[in-house]
A and B are shown apart, each in its own frame.
Chain A
Amino acid sequence: MKRYLRQTILPQFGIEAQKKLLAAKVLVVGAGGLGCPVLQYLTAAGVGTIGMADGDTIDLSNLHRQVLFSQEDIGYNKTIVAHKKLLLLNSDVQFNLYPFDLDPSNLFEVLPAYDVVVDCTDNFSIRYLLNDGCALLNKPLVFASIFQYEAQVSVFHFGHLPFNLRDLFAEIPNKKAIPNCAEAGVLGVLAGIAGTFQANEVIKIITGCGTPCTGKLLLYNSQENSIEQISLTKAKNIFIPKNKEDILRKEYQFSCKNINSIYHLDELIKVMTFDNAALIDVRNLTETPAIIKFQSIQIPLPLLEQSLDRIKAFNHIACICQSGIRSAKAIELLQNHYPDKHFYNVHGGIEIFK
């Protein structure tokens, strides 16, 4: 294990800690500002299995903070690009890709396989869902959030006295209260610092080496270099799910979170490998060229609403047309009927096969 020598020679760490990392399975939800440093450092540290979930594609405005990506990656799905880059760093890691956003309909397909979950997301809907899922399944959750020059970090559902995100804020804060990076702005390095704090927490949890930030909210300010650790107190009467149904019934205020855009053929290929995936061609039957690469279901857009029984068995539905406009309409229509299915619009249409 020459690769890990520098950390295995550390006092209190040793080969034992390294073995624990190698056997561990960590799910990183979000491959953006927080996710990039988390993924890089956990890969480098030798976490045996790393799952990453993100439905987003890379945008130019991401590059000031999402330092795993390159200029030529703009337009591609974050997990797919991250995977390629991380393999170059450490090809011993087993990566599991989920190139879509997690939501109540798919959470329980993904979460159970992992030992630790890292919240690198950017909205409260998914944050509360992850929190409740981890509460139910008893998985440690490494939380962090950033705003301008500040970061918050904590570890939930771990240790002798586990805390819950809802001990801090009992319900999803009202939308007016919470700006995201696009609205509020954030310094790139802040994302790096906060994400690296998270990676450190994951390593402490897995190895038992050091004190994880449980029962405390770590507050960091990059302008002042101040770090404080505020003690959390248990709140009364917070929502604690007793079973999956409690979570499936709970309102997380997701909106259009399960519609994804596909820009490149590899992404479409990946989606078509999912269980119960289908490609719906909503062009008129006379339009060419025909799609040869996949078996597609041809339902012209005007007939879509009457043909739902040809689609209802599928869970992952990609739609394609000439240019991406009709397929977007098709998805809108289908989402109204099936709000829990996952939809993928082939952006740019038939061009994707060229």
Chain B
Amino acid sequence: MNLKSFGRIRDIVPQEVAIAFPISVKTFREKLEADFSVLAAMEYRIAVNEEIISDEDFVIEENAVIALLPPFSGG
């Protein structure tokens, strides 16, 4: 799988996680947060193949590139 984490999530979620595809964004999120409980308190968007996904029912296919994008505000 191709999972990229940004911001603080880099230190929380590794590049490989044990999740089978296809899977809906909603379920993917739930599984991630079950495995990494710190994530549950954080806000982040999920991008699949370089597009932010709004629809939680969207199905992520095998070999998709997934990105976890938290907000940060440094300047």
Contact = CB atoms under 8 A, between A and B. Distances in A.
A152 B75 CA distance: 11
Interface in A156-213: 168-169, 173-174, 176-181, 184, 186, 191
A254 to B, nearest CB: 14
B51 A230 contact: yes
Contacts of A119: 75
B45 A168 contact: yes
Nearest to A178: B73
Interface in B30-75: 41-43, 45, 47, 50-54, 67, 69-75
Interface in A225-271: 228-236
Give the interface SS of chain B, mostly helix, strand, loop or mixed. Answer: loop
A38 to B, nearest CB: 10
A217 interface: yes
B6 interface: yes
B45 A231 contact: no
B26 interface: no
Given A229-B50, A230-B51, A217 B69 contact: yes
Contact of A177 (B6, B51, B67, B70): B70
Contact of A180 (B54, B69, B73): B73
Contacts of B22: none
For B7, B50, B75, the residue with the greatest tally of chain A CB atoms inside 10 Å of its CB is B75
A33 B75 contact: yes
Contact of B71 (A32, A177, A229, A230): A177
A311 to B, nearest CB: 34
Interface size class of B (residues with CB under 8 A): 20 to 34
B43 A177 contact: yes
Nearest to B51: A231
Contacts of A123: 73
B50 A33 contact: no
A340 interface: no
A4 B18 CA distance: 56
A174 B50 CA distance: 25
A230 B75 contact: no
A111 interface: no
B45 A122 contact: no
Given A168-B45, A235-B54, A30 B75 contact: yes
B42 A177 contact: yes
Contact of A150 (B6, B45, B51, B52): B6
Contacts of A181: 74-75
Given A168-B45, A169-B43, A178 B51 contact: no
Contact of A147 (B51, B52, B54, B74): B74
Interface of B: 6-8, 41-43, 45, 47, 50-54, 67, 69-75
6 closest residue pairs by CB, A with B: A147-B72, A122-B75, A231-B51, A146-B74, A181-B74, A34-B75
23 contacts: A30-B75, A33-B74, A34-B75, A120-B75, A145-B71, A145-B72, A145-B73, A146-B72, A146-B75, A147-B72, A147-B74, A173-B43, A177-B41, A177-B43, A177-B70, A180-B73, A217-B52, A217-B69, A230-B52, A231-B47, A232-B52, A235-B54, A236-B54
Given A32-B75, A124-B73, 16 more contacts: A33-B74, A127-B73, A145-B73, A145-B74, A147-B7, A168-B71, A173-B43, A177-B41, A177-B43, A177-B71, A184-B74, A191-B75, A229-B50, A231-B52, A233-B53, A234-B54
